Amino acid sequence: MSATRMRHHWTIADMDRARTRALAEATGLPHIIAQLLLQRGAATADEARHYLQPSVAHLSDPFSLTGMRAAVERITQARDHDEHVLIFGDYDVDGIAAAALLINGLKRFGLQRVTHGMPLRLTEGYGLNAEHVAVARAEGVNLIITVDNGISAHEAARRAKDLGIDLLITDHHAIEEGLPEACAVINPKQDSPDHPARNLCGAGVAFKLSMALNGTPNDLDIAALGTVADIVPLTGENRIIVALGLRHMARYERLGLSKLAAEAGLSLRDISSEKIGFQLGPRLNAAGRLNDGRAALQLLLSDCPIEAGRIAAALNEANEERRSIERGIFEAAVEELDACFDPRQRSIVLARRGWHVGVIGIVASRINAEYNRPVVLIALDEEGVGRGSARSGPNFDMMAALTECQEYLERFGGHRSAAGLTLAEEAVPAFRSAFEAAALRQLGAGELLPELTVDVVASFSQLDGALLKTLEQLEPFGHGNPAPIFCSAGVELVPSSARIIKDNHLRMALRQGDVVLSAIGFFMAERYFTEGLPSSLDIAYIPQLNTYRNETSVQLLLKDYRPAED
């Protein structure tokens, strides 16, 4: 069973023909682009121009965030009194990017004594703790600034107060237990739900603080890196940051990122959000997933080509190790599911000794995509303690389900689609049963088909180079702003055109009227072998421009197909 092989439940987005026509006439854009802009909230000509041409002027005022003025005042005091400031980050890409942003920002602001720290994933876990504060006190730190963590660090905040260290928290995670005691807390979750910065990641919050200190939007490339890697919605302010950051990354080619891109076989000159998400992000994440993210931070800060090249090579090697570990866990999980999976079950809970706690989240996401139901993977240690990662799709509230099962958990936390948890090994069977019951209540019985939202119904004759070039202006695509999915009905399979590419992928030629287009379906070979292809199809796809031997043509990236409806 695979998400790429499974049939989907198609939903066709509504189209307001009158508003689409009016926006197209007001902007001179094709009707399809006007329709997509309306779906993304751009209802007027000015809003459409802002969406298609994001600029620094469209960023919100950093001082509109609660706590920003107090934070700037305290940092100004630290500069004026030559205080020792510790930036305390996290081991994932967002935390690493946030730390790099603020280290650079504080130095631009004139602070001389700035150091950084982060926890070790496997031995210390997430976030600032009381022991970190004690070490900071011994090192003469006057002010600790957290990035991408701290909003739940109540014990650490109390220890800092007892030891006479000021604490400034910058974070973006949910506020569940009130605010820790600190001289300032910057977290967009404090502000109104309609605040333009509401969905910033940790790097985005650090970017705002740096901008408030220095008055200029520096290090946009690092802000974009953290935003894409943290999978926050690429809408509103986040989309602006990433759009501007991609341009910055391509133009200035930061040394560390350039070396890392070379290890991945990429050039920053044609960087995209997809390449950050699937190539750069995993390599920066690899060291932190296996234990220590400091090397990735040093790479972002390095101005030495030899050092940057050495670190990039080491991160690439760590990523290969991470992939090997991930592959082993995934294969073991699928082997177990092949033996015992029942399509009627609503959830998957697997536990095993020896699984790497830093990698099970990635594997849980893959299994969720493969089986289209919520997944919890649990790594058991030798003392019988299980640390789990939970992942789900948009139609399931993971935190609500875990709350129903909390009597079997020692602790848990996260958000709607991803969470972490800890439980005793002997509690796993009872938790599995309770979680299955919670999943059944949310998802109901019957076949679980993944959802596929079609944005535009179009004919092949509308898919020309000019349209697709304009379509590129809707980028960057990613979580919350996916590439638009088109649908064309009643297309014909060109006889004898279907063929298998590299054992897994399906390529074919499709005709509608006088237009013939090439289409490719990644990982659709098995579906083709088991179901075949009808001669007349409805297809869902992403249209792309494909250049081969200096010739550019329209190619369709298939997402699903079905027999043509009469």
* Full DSSP string of 119-171: --HHHH-SS--HHHHHHHHHTT-SEEEEES--TT-HHHHHHHHHHT-EEEEE-
28 CB-contact burial (10 Å; exposed 0-12 / middle 13-18 / buried 19+): exposed
- Hey, what are 321's tokens? 């190790």
> What's the predicted TM-score (pTM) here?
0.89
Beta strands in 314-404 (DSSP E): 348-353, 375-380, 385-391
pLDDT in tens, the chain (566 residues): 443 456 788 999 999 999 999 999 999 999 999 999 999 999 999 999 999 999 999 999 999 999 999 999 999 999 999 999 999 999 889 999 999 999 999 999 999 999 999 887 766 677 899 999 999 999 999 999 999 999 989 999 999 999 999 999 999 988 878 899 999 999 999 999 999 999 999 999 999 999 999 999 999 999 999 999 988 889 999 999 999 999 999 999 999 999 999 999 999 999 999 999 999 999 998 877 666 789 999 999 999 999 999 999 999 999 998 899 999 999 999 999 999 999 999 999 999 999 998 889 989 999 998 899 999 999 999 999 999 999 998 889 999 999 999 999 998 887 788 888 999 999 999 999 999 999 999 999 888 888 899 999 999 999 998 999 999 999 999 988 999 999 999 999 999 999 999 988 999 999 999 999 999 999 899 899 988 899 899 999 999 998 877 888 899 999 999 999 86
C-beta neighbour count of 74 within 10 angstroms:
19
Contact 218, 105 (CB under 8 A): yes
- Going along the chain from its start, the domains and CATH numbers come out as 9-13+452-563 (2.40.50.460), 58-231 (3.90.1640.30), 344-443 (3.10.310.30)
Q: Is 387 exposed, middle or buried (0-12, 13-18, 19+ CB in 10 A)?
A: buried
